[in-house]
Chains A and B, each alone.
Chain A
């Protein structure tokens, strides 16, 4: 570990390591092709077009009916949160399918949970991880490397048999604007996904980037573009994607509503909400505020609530 606690020991995927100019984005919105507008097939007899379409269907749209195997397959794996109550709520952990949104007020513990997930994903499957690395995109503050170092030490003590270079497997990038974020996710992240086994992509946060927009139509378009890049990765590389959102008080009736509106809400598969509870727990002279973890919606779990605390050891259960 070199002396500089902010950047030392970290690999970043912007700049020197990967030549961004040589990379084509993985998702190309193809113009309506031969089946609709192209002159190429205008003189083709109907039967031939049918043959082409059948051949295409055999390649791209094949049904899978062994749902039991599917449920156990890598596309629907779980990453443990490291906390029993949260895992119970989530039925195992964060799912490697679709976009998981974590929203909450400032200081409630979103980044802490993300740091813990960045470590647990590196654990082997037997311990609830994926044995893969992390791509962490910061848009607000600089990456809290000191805190991560502290947590990594906790993990080393907790799992002494695992010889994992926790800090070395987290790839960090800072972006401040929407265009840069889209380029990062569409181009640079594509190359990273191809060369390394990434199990978790984090964007902390999306709210900071998109709340600055004036043009709501362009905002919806850019959010959708971002989401489509991310969904391409979750499907192809069986990784989880977590996007952090902020909350705002819209009215007296709607306190702490997630930002970015309906357009963003429809892009996510799971929405998790963190909030502070007016309850404190004393452990050895230290007072810890209890936090509330709520599953706002998810395809596999009902609306459930759990409580947790944040200590030196990370995100932990509230002692009974």
Chain B
């Protein structure tokens, strides 16, 4: 007990697998991308880019090792039917094109086989639709088994995490279920070095005699998650904003990004 030093953990942290978001400024601030070993939450209003970010990460986790990616697979748990296979196909096709252009420009080691096509990208995303919180619980409890069978899985996305839980009327029950799910996910991230991304909604809360807009699921949930990125949309300027609100590695910072036909990109 107490054999590990901070130095050892720092060494591990540098080598932790990370998934890029393709918004360069956000990736730089995050130390290379969304890190494994933590639960990262994307929180925001409807139409602010949470689901699009999830799609982008499902593609980016599959980047071949020859270009510095993780070459791994994803599990996508959909609870509110926001998933769109046609959008994923659109992203996959333009990602394949970009990869082919990259291959053409540089000479890669031909022995490192990179099968990175739109079809392989689609095949690398395992989709599960969870109709209610019981199915979500079942699916999450089954993930360790799935990961044991397929060692390539390095990303779990739950979109949205709050949707099936807010149905529960009793707050104590809600907290209990949230706590259970997050505990299982935390064990997963640490034991298998997996990236866990969940999405959350916004709600209004009455605080100090005024209604404020804040993330849903309350304070107990906010304590359990490791990183929280609040996304919002700036309508007039036609870009989105990612505010890193909670993180143990960086200060609060707001980073703008755009969503194009070929995915999430930064603003140069």
B201 within 8 A of A: yes
**A67/B89 in contact, CB under 8 A:** yes
Q: Which residues on B sit within 8 Å (CB–CB) of A47?
A: none
B116 within 8 A of A: no
Residue of A nearest to B51 (CB): A299
Chain B stretch 1-60: residues in CB contact (< 8 A) with chain A = 45-47, 51-52
- A68-B119, A297-B46 in contact; A266/B163 too (CB < 8 A)? yes
Binding stretch for chain B, among A29-37, A120-128, A177-185, A243-251: A29-37
Residue of B nearest to A64 (CB): B127
**A53/B141 in contact, CB under 8 A:** yes
Determine which of B90, B131, B167, B213 lies in contact with A232 in the assembled complex, contact meaning CB atoms within 8 Å.
Answer: B131
Q: Which residues on B sit within 8 Å (CB–CB) of A33?
A: 134
- A32-B173, A235-B81, A300-B84 in contact; A224/B47 too (CB < 8 A)? no
Q: Once the chains are docked, how many angstroms separate the CA of A271 from the CA of B47?
A: 9
Q: Once the chains are docked, how many angstroms separate the CA of A1 from the CA of B245?
A: 63
Q: Which residues on B sit within 8 Å (CB–CB) of A53?
A: 138, 141-142
Q: Once the chains are docked, how many angstroms separate the CA of A150 from the CA of B202?
A: 44
**A224/B81 in contact, CB under 8 A:** no
- A62-B128, A70-B127 in contact; A91/B203 too (CB < 8 A)? no
Q: Once the chains are docked, how many angstroms separate the CA of A16 from the CA of B14?
A: 70
Q: Which residues on B sit within 8 Å (CB–CB) of A56?
A: 138
Residue of B nearest to A56 (CB): B138
- Could you say which of B82, B201, B203 has the most chain A C-beta atoms within 10 Å of its C-beta? B82
Chain A stretch 26-75: residues in CB contact (< 8 A) with chain B = 27, 29-30, 32-33, 35-36, 53-54, 56-57, 60-68, 70-71
Q: How far is the CB of A31 from chain B (nearest CB, A)?
A: 9
Q: How far is the CB of A59 from chain B (nearest CB, A)?
A: 9
**B131/A235 in contact, CB under 8 A:** yes
Q: Which residues on B sit within 8 Å (CB–CB) of A297?
A: 46-47
Determine which of A63, A97, A296 lies in contact with B75 in the assembled complex, contact meaning CB atoms within 8 Å.
Answer: A63
- Could you say which of B81, B129, B130, B146 has the most chain A C-beta atoms within 10 Å of its C-beta? B81
Q: Once the chains are docked, how many angstroms separate the CA of A263 from the CA of B46?
A: 10
**B204/A262 in contact, CB under 8 A:** yes
Q: Once the chains are docked, how many angstroms separate the CA of A294 from the CA of B238?
A: 15
A147 within 8 A of B: no
Q: Once the chains are docked, how many angstroms separate the CA of A97 from the CA of B78?
A: 12
Q: Which residues on A sit within 8 Å (CB–CB) of B47?
A: 271, 296-297
**A98/B128 in contact, CB under 8 A:** no
Determine which of B84, B135, B141 lies in contact with A299 in the assembled complex, contact meaning CB atoms within 8 Å.
Answer: B84
Chain B stretch 84-143: residues in CB contact (< 8 A) with chain A = 84-90, 119, 122-132, 134-135, 137-139, 141-142
Q: Once the chains are docked, how many angstroms separate the CA of A302 from the CA of B239?
A: 12
Q: Once the chains are docked, how many angstroms separate the CA of A66 from the CA of B119?
A: 9
Q: Which residues on B sit within 8 Å (CB–CB) of A61?
A: 128, 130, 135, 138-139, 142
Proximity string of chain A (10-31) to chain B, C-beta cutoff 8 Å, 1 when within and 0 when not? 0000000000000000010110
Residue of B nearest to A265 (CB): B46
**B134/A266 in contact, CB under 8 A:** no
Q: Once the chains are docked, how many angstroms separate the CA of A71 from the CA of B84?
A: 8
**Residues of A that sit less than 8 Å from B by CB:** 27, 29-30, 32-33, 35-36, 53-54, 56-57, 60-68, 70-71, 76, 91, 97-98, 221, 224-225, 228, 231-232, 234-235, 261-263, 265-269, 271, 296-297, 299-300, 302-303
- For the complex of A and B, the 4 pairs showing the least CB-CB separation, nearest first, are A297-B47, A71-B85, A57-B142, A61-B139
